[in-house]
Amino acid sequence: MTVERRLVFEPADIRALTLECKKCGVRLTAKAAALDVPRSCPGAGCSQGWWGSALVLSRDQGQWPYETLAKALADINAIKDNAEVGFRLLLEFDEPPRAS
Ligand SMILES: [Zn+2]
């Protein structure tokens, strides 16, 4: 018999969202409702762009998926206890391997 272990949680369990620079590894953490992705890395001495001109239009049109996700999480948390919402959204992940 194979036993698979899963982690299941609600969006409200997400304490914050973290953006990690691909170049220097600096991390920017914000609550979902307050996520504002800077145009370039906030790390000292790092010049990595986090989004370029090709993405400006979609961001300006409110179609920036990172901020759309953050807003959706905040919106879900705001209505999750509404009696008219008859379900809970659960996110499921494989349990990470245990350190030996
Ligand atoms: Zn960086």
Largest CA distance in the chain: 53
How many angstroms does the Cα of residue 16 sit away from the middle of ligand 1? 19
How many angstroms does the Cα of residue 23 sit away from the middle of ligand 1? 5
Mean pLDDT per 10-residue section of the chain, whose length is 100 residues? 86 92 96 85 93 72 80 91 94 84
Supply the pLDDT for residue 57: 65
Tally of CA atoms within 13 A in the half-sphere of 77 that contains its CB: 17
Tally of CA atoms within 13 A in the half-sphere of 95 that contains its CB: 8
Residues around ion ligand 1, judged by CB within 5 A, are 21, 23-24, 26, 41, 43, 46, 48
Token pair belonging to 79: 């209505």
